[in-house]
Chains A and B, each alone.
Chain A
Amino acid sequence: MITKRIIPCLDVKDGRVVKGVNFLGLHDVSSPVRLAKFYSDCGADELVFYDITASAEGRALFTDILTEVASTIFIPLTVGGGINTVDDFDRVLKCGADKVSVNSGAIRDPSLISQAAKRYGDQCVVLSVDAKRVNGQFRVFAKGGREDTGLDAIEWIKSGVQNGAGEIVLNSIDTDGVKNGFDLEMLDAVCQVVDVPVIASGGAGCVDHFKTLFHALPKVDAGLAASIFHFGEVAIPDLKRELAADGINMRLTGFSAPT
């Protein structure tokens, strides 16, 4: 049976991997290429590679870094940040991305999802959503979590899937960086309304948070995290072994796992 996926996220600014707490106070972690290779060898099932400054500052992705990552690792690679047009899809796909994640670009122009899905297939289009509770509603935030769009997250995700998004990354701003566990309530609300893979993001602090995620929400396909992996607080081989021992289907063989 298909395995649950463990996905490290590499937020990139100026060619380096960074991770903010609640999107503020960025600090440098490591080289994207080195981290990507390390994670692939550790058994990461996929990598997400975001240019986190792109939507805020209109900065283009550093495609040479992306090309180097994609030439070095041979697991699925999702790229996001600054994806505003179908040409942006073309640019990152040519550099070796397998899937392209849209966020603010799709909020500005929702037809981006359908245009890209038509050209590259649904499986290529990932809708990434930063959401936060506002007045009892899950609200979509844009520009790296800084701007309240007023959109209802559940409705936004539903329409995104109808338009051709083949996968959803749901990042809860409320739990992001807090390391208190994934936002099960928000994730459940999304899983109820879509039938494409849902990737949980924001809040992972320890192995138990992943156990809780996959046991409580069987419809969630993957767990995504950044800092706990980058800083070695959770080692991916240990995480996957513990999840497998807890009855969660994991990919455990076929990669060299430095311990």
Chain B
Amino acid sequence: MVAIIDYGVGNLFSLKSSLAAIGAEAVVTGDPAVIKAANKLILPGVGAFADAAALLRQDGLDQLIIEEANRGKPLLGICLGMQLLFDVSFEYGEHRGLGLIPGRVVPIEDAIPAGLKVPQIGWNALCFPKPSPLFRYMNEGDCVYFVHSYYAAGCEEYVIAGTEYGAYLTAAVQRDNVFGTQFHPEKSGTVGLNILRAFCEEGALC
């Protein structure tokens, strides 16, 4: 069973529906017992980093997620959920993340030429600097859907997908059993469903 972690941030309808569409057994929950019992965890999130990090801490879910990930349970962070995996974010100040993947979350506009719109909203192609089981059912060059104003930097060692938006931006990361996608697989059509399928199905992920 896959637990979609509900900590009061964002809209989980599409994520839940997309897991149903690929036949994955999933539950939306903030209950520590259910999260502990799950085989895999998805950490979603939209909105502001500081608010989301505070909500995770308020419920004590931050420590639980770190413990479960350190025990080897596969974890997938999506969009803001991916950014939360890093050490620190510089979105409106400096805020501590979960520290599961070394790196920092910084503004896109510092990396790209003036004139490009921020946030990056829309479909962009992925390139793969190294293979990852997360992308075993898709091809390099396939497009996925992004909505973001910040991106992960200083994590080159863990980047499994990048995208070109005036600069090479981190699109997905993996550190052992911990995965993150800056884009929204639940909004990326068949390609996205196949990424979720790769994460959710039984078998080795790393």
**Does residue B39 face the partner (Cβ distance < 8 Å to A)?**
no
Which A residues are CB-close (under 8 A) to B121? 123, 166-167, 197, 221
Asked if A75 contacts B122 (CB within 8 A), the reply is no
Counting residue pairs across A and B whose Cβ atoms lie within 8 Å, the total is 91
**Does residue A65 face the partner (Cβ distance < 8 Å to B)?**
no
Query: Which stretch in A13-21, A53-61, A205-213, A251-259 binds the other chain?
Result: A251-259
Asked if B142 contacts A3 (CB within 8 A), the reply is no
Asked if A197 contacts B122 (CB within 8 A), the reply is yes
Q: Smallest distance from the beta carbon of B167 to chain A beta carbons, Å?
A: 11
Asked if B13 contacts A2 (CB within 8 A), the reply is no
Which A residues are CB-close (under 8 A) to B141? 253
Main DSSP-derived SS at the A contact region: loop
Q: Smallest distance from the beta carbon of A18 to chain B beta carbons, Å?
A: 26
**Does residue B143 face the partner (Cβ distance < 8 Å to A)?**
yes
Which A residues are CB-close (under 8 A) to B146? 2
A9 to B32, CA, bound (A): 42
Which A residues are CB-close (under 8 A) to B21? 71, 74
**Does residue A98 face the partner (Cβ distance < 8 Å to B)?**
yes
With contact pairs A74-B193, A195-B117, A254-B138 given, residues A121 and B123 touching in the complex (Cβ less than 8 Å): no
- CB-nearest residue of chain A relative to B11? A93
With contact pairs A195-B117, A253-B141, A254-B191 given, residues A2 and B17 touching in the complex (Cβ less than 8 Å): no
- CB-nearest residue of chain B relative to A73? B189
**Does residue B129 face the partner (Cβ distance < 8 Å to A)?**
no
Asked if B145 contacts A76 (CB within 8 A), the reply is yes
- CB-nearest residue of chain B relative to A123? B147
Q: Which of B117, B119, B120, B187 contacts A75 (CB 8 A)?
A: B187
Asked if A98 contacts B14 (CB within 8 A), the reply is yes
Which B residues are CB-close (under 8 A) to A3? 122-125, 143
A196 to B120, CA, bound (A): 10
A123 to B99, CA, bound (A): 27
With contact pairs A2-B124, A2-B165, A74-B14 given, residues A98 and B187 touching in the complex (Cβ less than 8 Å): yes
**Does residue B180 face the partner (Cβ distance < 8 Å to A)?**
no
Which B residues are CB-close (under 8 A) to A121? 46-47
Asked if A5 contacts B122 (CB within 8 A), the reply is yes
Q: Smallest distance from the beta carbon of B165 to chain A beta carbons, Å?
A: 6
**Does residue B181 face the partner (Cβ distance < 8 Å to A)?**
no
**Does residue A45 face the partner (Cβ distance < 8 Å to B)?**
yes
Bits for B1-28, please: 1 = Cβ < 8 Å to A, else 0.
0000000000101100110110000000
Q: Smallest distance from the beta carbon of A164 to chain B beta carbons, Å?
A: 13
**Does residue B164 face the partner (Cβ distance < 8 Å to A)?**
yes
Asked if A253 contacts B13 (CB within 8 A), the reply is no
**Does residue A105 face the partner (Cβ distance < 8 Å to B)?**
no
**Does residue A24 face the partner (Cβ distance < 8 Å to B)?**
no
**Does residue A32 face the partner (Cβ distance < 8 Å to B)?**
no
B118-167 with Cβ < 8 A to chain A: 119-125, 138-139, 141-143, 145-147, 164-165
Which B residues are CB-close (under 8 A) to A157? none
A45 to B18, CA, bound (A): 17
Q: Which of B11, B122, B138 contacts A221 (CB 8 A)?
A: B122
What 4 A-B pairs are tightest by C-beta distance, nearest first? A254-B191, A254-B142, A251-B143, A96-B13
Query: Can you spell out 22 A-B residue pairs with CB atoms less than 8 angstroms apart?
Result: A1-B164, A3-B122, A5-B123, A45-B123, A70-B14, A71-B17, A71-B21, A74-B21, A76-B145, A76-B187, A96-B14, A96-B17, A121-B47, A123-B119, A166-B121, A195-B117, A197-B117, A197-B121, A197-B122, A221-B122, A251-B123, A254-B143
User: B residues bordering A, Cβ < 8 Å?
Assistant: 11, 13-14, 17-18, 20-21, 46-47, 117, 119-125, 138-139, 141-143, 145-147, 164-165, 186-193
List 19 extra interface pairs beyond A2-B122, A122-B119, A255-B190, CB under 8 A: A1-B124, A3-B125, A5-B123, A45-B123, A71-B17, A71-B21, A74-B18, A74-B186, A74-B189, A75-B188, A96-B13, A98-B14, A123-B121, A197-B117, A221-B121, A221-B122, A251-B123, A254-B139, A255-B191
User: A residues bordering B, Cβ < 8 Å?
Assistant: 1-3, 5, 40, 45, 70-71, 74-76, 93-96, 98, 121-123, 166-167, 195-197, 221-222, 251, 253-256
